[in-house]
């Protein structure tokens, strides 16, 4: 009977470790997907407010103000970074010839990025740039008021 209890302990140890690792991987995957979805919602929310722009308005600051009012679960909103490139025409957009300051350009490309930190294994994703920084881009046609 004592030998049987030793076998049960060994079997438990052998099966528990892979199960525990699998649970951690599932939790990290869910968190990764939730962060990506949060960034999609943040970008959609911020750009919805910037379709109507006033002349010489600092659109990036307006977007930052909109995002500062939002409460994002499991993410630090202050770590969101916003960049903008403004284009005078579709031809300029096609050739990627833009400006970083808004001066009544009809088109803009906004990029929001968020540094992602793996929760359970520190340094695990350092070799994978796509796993350490989320980046989303959106093209907006401005309507002047």
Q: Could you read off the pLDDT of 73-124 as tens digits, one per residue?
A: 767 777 788 888 989 988 998 898 988 888 888 888 888 888 877 776 666 6
For the whole model, what pTM was predicted? 0.71
The residues, any chain, with a CB within 8 Å of residue 113's CB and separated by 6 or more, are 80, 81, 83, 133, 134, 135, 136
Please state, in angstroms and rounded to a whole number, the distance separating the CA atoms of residues 119 and 22.
14
Domains in the chain: boundaries:
2-144
Please state, in angstroms and rounded to a whole number, the distance separating the CA atoms of residues 60 and 89.
20
Nearest Cα to 131, choosing from 42, 19, 31? 31
pLDDT in tens, 12-56: 888 998 999 899 889 888 888 888 888 888 888 877 777 777 766
Please state, in angstroms and rounded to a whole number, the distance separating the CA atoms of residues 129 and 13.
35
């Amino acid at each position: 009977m004592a030998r049987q209890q030793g076998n049960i302990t060994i079997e438990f140890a052998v099966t528990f470790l892979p199960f525990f690792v699998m649970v951690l991987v599932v939790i990290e995957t869910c968190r990764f997907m939730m962060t990506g979805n949060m960034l999609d919602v943040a970008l959609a929310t911020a750009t919805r407010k910037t379709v109507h722009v006033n002349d010489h308005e600092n659109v990036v600051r307006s977007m930052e103000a909109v995002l500062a009012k939002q409460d994002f679960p499991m993410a630090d909103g202050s770590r969101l970074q916003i960049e903008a490139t403004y284009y005078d025409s579709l031809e300029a957009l096609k050739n990627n010839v833009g400006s970083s300051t808004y001066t009544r350009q009809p088109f803009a490309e906004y990029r929001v990025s968020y540094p992602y930190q793996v929760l359970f294994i520190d340094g695990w994703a350092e070799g994978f740039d796509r796993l350490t920084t989320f980046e989303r881009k959106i093209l907006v046609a401005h309507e002047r008021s």
